[in-house]
Chains A and B, each alone.
Chain A
């Protein structure tokens, strides 16, 4: 039995949606299709347009231009209360003057559902978030995590085909957050509703999502699964935002066989070219770099020398920050079984040119991240 079959959830189509506040463009031609029943995360730094997108879908914000379809129908100009979309807010937004039970019953009361039925559905929704025993409490008597679970129950109790969540776990501590992430995943599986989830936490995005849309400066940089974004970032911004990365910048020379990069006298190469881009950079994931003491021979691989600037013991291994000759920092992860290095030690970083991702340089990628 597939629960998704009975409640497929709604598809969402954003077509070149823009939102301007005066001369500031909060959204700049955003197009995105979200499939029915999909768990889509909008990921990006603050001010990147992800929350504006959510507010546009919810009907809290009008679009300046563009088209928005929910379930195949245009909802531009439709007020929020007629959209039938569940929204979970970062600040919970539980009504402080109502008990938990009345909070959850609120959307049902508005829809004129009879008391019997209402009671049943409230109990079911509260059970789903494991808050069944708290119906008579007031929100002020609950912890943050409990409040957010009630808010979740309230937004699914009226069976909306689409649920929007705006950093719902942002105010909670790490342990609770991780546990609630799994809960949200479970509820998504059980309901089969379309979920749109906004966060700035890339780990959370990787844990939860079917697909992730990475936002930057009012635009979508890339849409894809977590693996696609990590392995095949389309832009330097995506590469840097998802996971740890080392960015190598230097003098670029490309020919028929590949691209060579000279950094402070040392040259590394990759067997690929970047069409028409003179200012290419190389992006390397920490696990693709091998760290070792200098001097030993290793023909055929790229080599860069540097000094250990920071050594972090992670339990499952160690993470090193290595200062390269040009002053930039490389991040390396080495397994527990490997050698260990101490601060200030001179080391060599080796990598296979095929593992280096060539991307056009984007100076904004750094500034927006810090």
Chain B
């Protein structure tokens, strides 16, 4: 290797030093194995071995209609949260790319401010806002909608979760939109496209990678949500995470709780695996300045 080759590490390489980068990652890997790998393995083993060896816990999980209802609800709520996030984040992220640096700073601050306060406190705020005597209900009442229940309903859970997850949608979307070459829209206009047509045929398709990336992140995080549904939801909006917690902490059913956890875990990774090729699509780097 030549000394000026930019890929050459700074230090002249001696034979047998190739293991060094691996040595640097070793401490982190060890901790990873001890605090993530081993615990997850324990859960898988318990789901198969308690009370005795066999698939009984999975048979139980997929055999009980209650569990399936909760599983289905977990997906439904996550899907709604994702839809709400996409619909709100798209115009917001677009505006971030369109305004001057000062206004952009304000918009970015609005996205980041929710992170400044503890997540639990934020959920508390939603409890305050959504309760039956809360602000939103008073507003609705004065607008003529009486007796709308928000807290302990799926709607309330979706509102609270979407707010927590919105930044995860806005930021990837913004980073993709920022890279879209607006001159392509201009080109479309010169070829005869009205502004709306140019948007739908050029801008929207080019921003889709950001939508996919954000939607996947939001959906996956939503699937595993625990705190927000626990505080904002009621018995009719229980999500899978809460069920896992109940099985383990209240009923001490490690096998059943473990099986549920494994279902949640596998679902997450399957979704990630399905999403990977989409994210690595041919046009991810295209259309950039």
Contacts and interface: CB of A to CB of B under 8 A. Distances in A.
Contacts of B104: none
B190 A81 contact: yes
A341 interface: no
Contact of A80 (B183, B184, B189): B189
Nearest to A106: B191
Contacts, number: 77
B193 interface: yes
Contacts of A155: 190-191
* Contact-size category for B: 20 to 34
A106 B184 CA distance: 13
Interface in B187-216: 187-195, 197-198, 201-202, 205-206
B283 interface: yes
Contact of B186 (A60, A107, A158): A60
Q: Is the interface of B mostly helix, strand, loop or mixed?
A: helix
B286 interface: yes
Contacts of A91: 181, 183
A107 B283 contact: no
B102 interface: no
B14 interface: no
A93 B181 contact: yes
A80 B191 CA distance: 8
A134 interface: no
B236 interface: no
A59 B192 CA distance: 11
Contacts of A154: 191
Interface string A136-170: 00111000000000000011001000000000000
Nearest to B206: A97
Given A93-B187, A95-B184, A96-B287, A110 B202 contact: no
Given A95-B202, A110-B197, A84 B192 contact: yes
A91 B185 CA distance: 13
A86 B187 CA distance: 9
When A and B form their complex, which 5 residue pairs have the shortest distance between CB atoms, in order from nearest? Answer: A96-B286, A93-B187, A107-B191, A87-B190, A96-B287
Given A93-B186, A110-B192, 12 more contacts: A79-B189, A81-B192, A81-B197, A81-B198, A87-B190, A93-B181, A93-B187, A106-B188, A106-B191, A110-B197, A154-B191, A158-B191
19 contacts: A79-B194, A80-B186, A81-B193, A81-B194, A81-B198, A82-B192, A85-B190, A87-B187, A91-B183, A97-B206, A97-B286, A110-B191, A110-B197, A111-B192, A138-B283, A139-B286, A155-B190, A158-B191, A158-B192
Interface of B: 181, 183-184, 186-195, 197-198, 201-202, 205-206, 282-283, 286-287
